[in-house]
Copies of this chain bind each other. A is one copy, B any other.
């Protein structure tokens, strides 16, 4: 083993970071700078010479897409007899901001996230800080180790130990009731309104608009009225980070 490698393994100041990541992720990370970036909230980022910020937002964009693809495949294979409507709904539940925030905490990512306490009022108003870092981490793992590795990482290290898919399946979609509860808690008026279909064709497409205190927060369209309501409620939940 070359001396430089021994130095890196035993004496490098990065050793502690590698160890922390290894314990957290279950594998030895390669490109550390990717992981550092994944855990850097925009409030703690600095402008680089090339005009970009070294925050986790680009990695979050990538990770969100990779995560969506892995979860889509897992659901597709796990439920061979279910419709695409069911698959879409299940995926929404798994990758909802609330669920990702929670997963992020369970994995202990909150210990690693860099942010500016003057800007982010953590943990009261953390919003999507945790879930965003979770997605950025997936982006970092993907760039560091490739698709197949990321696929098994997501399944074996995250989904299997932390996501009870069976329970999620039976949680009758709670977007609507979740939204109603939230409005009650915050003293806000909520209305679900069926708006006419102006497209002039004869398709029985329902358009449901959900408004909170008079402001539209989501619109859902489906051939089934209940589903249209669900979709509208889901979008509103997303917009409000509920």
- Nearest residue (CB) in B for A50 is B81
- Rounded to whole angstroms, the CA-CA distance of A81 and B54 in the bound complex is 10
Give the copy number.
Answer: 2
Output the least CB separation between A190 and chain B (Å): 11
Which residues of chain A in 53-79 are interfacial with respect to chain B, using CB atoms and an 8 Å cutoff? Answer: 53, 57-58, 60-62, 64-66, 68-69, 71-73, 76
Q: Does A164 contact B (CB under 8 A)?
A: no
Q: Which single member of B199, B201, B209 contacts A216 (CB below 8 Å)?
A: B209
Task: Give the size category of A's interface with B.
Answer: 35 or more
A198: which of B50, B196, B212 is its contact (CB, 8 Å)?
A: B212
Q: Please indicate the chain B residues that have their CB under 8 angstroms from the CB of A221 in the complex.
A: 239
**A219 interface residue, CB < 8 Å from B?**
yes
In the complex, chain B residues whose CB is within 8 Å of the CB of A217 = 219
Query: Within 8 Å CB of A76, what residues of B?
Result: 58, 61-62, 139
User: What is the distance, in angstroms, from A1's C-beta to the closest C-beta of chain B?
Assistant: 32
Question: Could you tell me which A residues sit within 8 Å of B by CB distance?
Answer: 50-53, 57-58, 60-62, 64-66, 68-69, 71-73, 76, 80-84, 87-88, 125, 139, 142, 147-148, 151, 188, 195-196, 198-199, 201, 207, 209, 212-219, 221, 235, 239-240
Q: Which of B58, B84, B207 contacts A57 (CB 8 A)?
A: B84
Q: Which residue on chain B has the smallest CB distance to residue A219?
A: B216
**Closest partner residue, chain B, to A201 (CB atom):** B125
Docked CA distance A71–B66 (Å): 10
Residues of B within 8 A of A71 (CB): 65
22 A-B residue pairs with CB within 8 Å:
A53-B83, A57-B83, A57-B84, A58-B76, A58-B83, A58-B84, A58-B87, A61-B84, A62-B76, A65-B68, A66-B69, A68-B68, A68-B69, A69-B69, A147-B148, A147-B151, A188-B198, A198-B215, A209-B215, A216-B219, A217-B219, A219-B239
